[in-house]
Structure 1
């Protein structure tokens, strides 16, 4: 056992953290720390209990009163608490735990801008990470720098620099857990040692929560409205049970014990946790609505596209939205979001069918999604069996023109990854060392996964196009 693991076990013992003798902690120079089963474990076994006071939270930190006075909450406040405790070194009550953590997690947030531009270009993360860097720097400038300058802390001010904030934020993002309404999110020793595996978790992390009128005011955001003293007083006689880790499936002797961070694609996992999983079934690719309109602009006037987009919206359709964009998702198997197919279908409607759709828009918009789609297709004079399943009805949207556009969108979106082909990216991934070239490896897993989805989107459209031609369908209007 490594020296840092021995120190951590001593720290756990002195802080009331109890764990089963059937757990083995492994410290690998290539894969980091993992937890394995010494013997067979059964579903329902309680394997870990963690007192809440041993967790590093805004409430338990030695700088709690200063964080509260500054009105900082959520992940921002927790990052400040973590920076403070790390700055104390051996004097911190959490030193035995903190020495186990990396300086920073290898998430794109702490990559250089050059690395972000070179490794993530074209991916779902490229723009997001650059925006995150900007917003986090603004947070540091607005909240943390003034806090450090205005307070006489018995630590070096450079412990709260922007680099230290980004490092702390990477740890908070990847390792924190929600504890309860009083503590909010916190760093939970031992719980963060269980690695993730999609759809194959063995454990469940439980926390008995409680509420009070004071707690209801703290929604987990960036501002603390209630004082810690008042909350502590109001909770005086309320039991404070420990956190527990319980097995949700059997584990064989020698096997690694996994947690799960949820059902998320590689873009989300790399963004938050710094790793990816090849062939992740939850991977998606987004296609911006502006790219859709740009693709169709070579076929139709802007006036035509604005009118068709307006009709689509009057039918109560929309894409997925973020703070500044609207987009459509393409699933792992290459199937596009239904709303995208409906928009493209409306774009190619004849003027007569479009006018009928506009007249019926108000009544159609009030129906549920399945009924609305069937009635919409009937209005546009497409024969449709009302008893058909939704999947079958959806196929009727896949006209030759719609399929042509799907192929064009796939090619245009794939071009955003640069001059290398998918085959070249696959070869680079096969030759890449996951340990020595971690950033490149996970960026390539993300790139390859997304580009394979786009290839499946092309196949999705072309397969249905072939079926349409076999049925004697009309020729496509024109390629984008």
Structure 2
């Protein structure tokens, strides 16, 4: 599992999902496939004192090494070394009738998981055998598999921990990211695609029999380690790049590189960095995004600067102690009734069409979600952020809903004008009494929305903070689930307080 380890969220469990020879296998693969690592870096096991979190491999500055300047290519990976649907030849196999690999979203993860699984089955016959041997031996411990028997069936502590963690995740953004629906999708893909692929390609797979647990492992590896590298390969497993742990204050990032830039690497570094290369080949590089002083220990990548803890937990199995990218969101259908949904959303699109990302960036009331694109199918569009501020899109939706319910005789254009006028005067001290009353009503709706959500999160009638104090460190799944509940509760309560303050200020 890839993570930035922190004191409150570090898992601790007894089994080691990496083999004792993981690093040697990975370095063997690098030698065989022309993957080059800067001599100033080293890959080694990293297990914090008192914990074995199942992610012992990490990348460090070599002791006694030198500073590394910004914009330095410290790892380069030949394009032929990545494991993708294209490079494995998945699309050349006989596939079930009507099935075509999807290049994006969960479909891409499933297709890459199938490609990886087929390479696992090939054993030493796979070009990626040494790399695969360096990967975790068990299913990566992701929330989607906590309700299954993917782990050790005899590990009663794990089973109790996983069951309890699932109960705490009720109503959270993790549940939204990682619902039972996802597990059903994985299971259906296994039945409808994986098993038929094995049956249709017996001559390629040495009569191997598929296993659901083994496919779970392949999917979990893809979910927790894959990168989108370019338009051709798409989602891919990238050796060495996936050895870097995550933090938001990262040192390196994965980039595509041309042969000319690789020539610069080979001519400007010491002899032991040089190697015969195919000048016609493209490379991917791990490139420094900041100056790395020699006093640095571990070197970090980032899986996304704006990933919330819910997204990190669902996809990678960990959370950060503090994450400013956190948010709690809603689907539009949770806010607007079925009868008026189409009408309200039509007006909402008119209202938000001209909103600029920085229009309310400094507002004490609103925020503009990053990369939301204004699309109403994203929960992040209708959300509360880590500071307890509501998104301007959510405010507009609540305002439209209130206007259409209380002043139903208005035509759409008049509703848009009224809502935009209310938005414009949100922070004005010179608003009319009617405008202030309207704003109070809208903020009442926002507060009620948050209060209702508070009642849906976690375990009914149990105080999350008090429960956390009683949960042992060995039950890390439950601990991070409770921490997520506490974070979402804090955001919602902060928003409620802000709504009450605004209502009082308008009186």
Fold similarity call, TM over 0.5? yes
Contact 1:24 1:37 in 2 (8 A): yes
Asked whether 1:125 is paired with 2:166, we answer: no
Task: Report the Cα offset of residue 351 of structure 1.
Answer: 8.5
- The one of 300, 303, 313 equivalent to 1:261 is 303
Aligned-partner Cα distance in 1 for 2:398–2:30: 59
Match of residue 13 from structure 2: none
Q: Provide the aligned length of Structure 1 versus Structure 2.
A: 414
Match of 1:234 in 2: none
Residue 94 of structure 1: aligned partner: 128
User: Is residue 243 of structure 1 aligned with residue 284 of structure 2?
Assistant: yes
1:201 is aligned, of 250, 263, 272, to 250
Counterpart in 1 of 2:61? 37
Q: Distance in 2 between matches of 1:269 and 1:438?
A: 15
Alignment gaps of 5+ in structure 1: 211-236, 295-301, 365-371, 389-394, 474-480
SS state of the match for residue 59, structure 1? helix
Partner of 2:142: 107
1:222 is matched with which residue?
Answer: none
Is 1:61 aligned to 2:88, yes or no?
yes
Q: 1:341 to 1:467 in 2, by over 3 A?
A: same
Relative to structure 1, the CA distance from residue 289 to residue 327 in structure 2 (aligned partners, 3 Å threshold; closer, same or farther) is: farther
Distance across 1 between alignment mates of 2:73 and 2:302: 17
TM-score, normalization by structure 2: 0.70
Distance 1:311 1:258, change over 3 A: closer
CA contact (8 A) 2:348 2:396 kept: no
Q: State the partner residue of 2:211.
A: 161
Aligned equivalents of 1:190, 1:311: Cα separation in 2: 48
SS across alignment from 1:109: helix
Structure 2: distance between partners of 1:350 and 1:261: 42
Q: Which runs of 5+ in 2 are unaligned?
A: 1-18, 149-161, 260-277, 354-373
Q: 1:308–1:347: 8 Å Cα contact kept in structure 2?
A: no
Distance in 2 (CA, whole Å) between partners of 1:21 and 1:397 is 66
Deviation of residue 67 (structure 1)? 6.2
Aligned to 1:446: 484
2:329 equivalent to 1:286? yes
- Compute the displacement of 1:13 (Å): 1.8
**Quick one: distance in 2 between partners of 1:403 and 1:59?**
51
With the length of structure 1 as denominator, give the TM-score of the two structures.
0.74
What is the CA–CA distance in structure 2 between the aligned matches of 1:90 and 1:311, rounded to whole Å?
Answer: 57
Say which of 405, 413, 416 aligns to 2:453: 413
Q: Corresponding residue for 2:440?
A: 400
Measure, in 2, the Cα distance between the counterparts of 1:407 and 1:443.
Answer: 24
Q: Which moved more, 1:346-355 or 1:17-26?
A: 346-355
**Aligned positions of 1:333-344 closer than 5 A:** 333-344=387-398
Higher helix share: 1
Equivalent position SS for 1:183? coil
Q: RMSD over aligned Cα, in angstroms?
A: 3.9
TM superposition shift of 1:71: 4.2
Matched, 1:139 2:181: no
SS in 2 for 1:144: helix
Q: 1:59 to 1:409 in 2, by over 3 A?
A: closer
- Deviation per CA, 1:163-198: give whole Å up to 9, x if none: 222221111122112333333322111010011101
Q: Does 1:328 align with 2:382?
A: yes
Structure 2 partner of 1:50: 77
1:180 partner SS: coil
